[in-house]
Amino acid sequence: MTTTPTVHRATAVAARATELSKVYGEGETQVVALDRVTVDFPQGEFTAIMGPSGSGKSTLMHCVAGLDSFSSGSVRIGDTELSTLKDKQLTQLRRDKIGFIFQAFNLLPTLTALENITLPMDIAGRKPDAAWLQKVIDMVGLSDRLKHRPTELSGGQQQRVAVARALASQPEIIFGDEPTGNLDSRSGAEVLGFLRNSVRELGQTVVMVTHDPVAASYADRVIFLADGAVVDQMLHPTAEGVLDRMKAFDAKGRTS
């Protein structure tokens, strides 16, 4: 690991960032959040993005997911180049091709669980695929909770609704921003299990930002970010392996 690795594999790519940079401010106060990051997210893979606070992991996800603008470089979701899209087109892209799971405030309190799950299709004005919807709902085990409102659900159940929502519209890629951050370990394990199953069984592509090595161990691959650049990656990660790697970065950070 002496040089910054670029990640390339032969399979089809769901999302790709090339030479992606994000700079805040100008001159003296300039802060580089992302420094020419190049990374691929292959189809049917569960990728975790890790890194210490301020490493740029959330920024990377936001830029790739079309939530934030970037200063230079390119981002592609499937065949679509994001840098040239206007807000309206970006919104449409997020609606049709991307699923989201956030740490909190995932659901609309006024809607039932089912209405929350179908919300992206509602927005798009599409009818959900009934068979697929049933499959997703069965998978996350919410069949008997569909009429409930978010306030009547536990945190874990709420996050399962969020997972179902992300899956229901069959997006090309799902982004999770610390999806287990607010959950206890059991509920967190459940949610991560669903995400992994969706990749294994349904062929979904998932990218997740996390700071939890255990969560990262559910992924097929972990990408490590530090100071706005990809510094390492790990295939078939284990919690211990990830933790060791993180400790190594910390030690390096302290010694350098």
**Alpha-carbon gap, residue 116 to 127, rounded angstroms:** 14
Q: How far is the CB of 183 from other proteins (least distance, A)?
A: 13
Report the interhelical angle of 130-140 vs 155-168 (nearest 10°): 150
Nearer to other proteins, 47 or 169 (CB): 169
Nearer to other proteins, 43 or 92 (CB): 92
Nearer to other proteins, 87 or 144 (CB): 87
Question: Phi/psi of residue 174, each to 5°?
Answer: -115, 130
Q: How far is the CB of 61 from other proteins (least distance, A)?
A: 11
**Alpha-carbon gap, residue 220 to 210, rounded angstroms:** 14
Q: Which residues bind other proteins (CB under 8 A)?
A: 62, 67-68, 87-88, 91-92, 94-96, 99-100, 102-106, 108-111, 119-120, 122-125, 165, 177, 181-182
Q: How far is the CB of 96 from other proteins (least distance, A)?
A: 7
Nearer to other proteins, 133 or 242 (CB): 133
Among residues 183, 180, 115, 118, which one has the least CA distance to residue 149? 115
Nearer to other proteins, 168 or 226 (CB): 168
Q: How far is the CB of 167 from other proteins (least distance, A)?
A: 13
**Alpha-carbon gap, residue 44 to 50, rounded angstroms:** 19
CB atoms within 10 A of CB 185: 11
Q: Are 207 and 176 in contact (CB under 8 A)?
A: yes
Query: What's the token pair of residue 145?
Result: 């909770």
**Alpha-carbon gap, residue 205 to 189, rounded angstroms:** 19
Residue 85, helix vs strand vs coil: coil
Nearer to other proteins, 67 or 146 (CB): 67
Q: How far is the CB of 138 from other proteins (least distance, A)?
A: 22
Q: How far is the CB of 162 from other proteins (least distance, A)?
A: 10
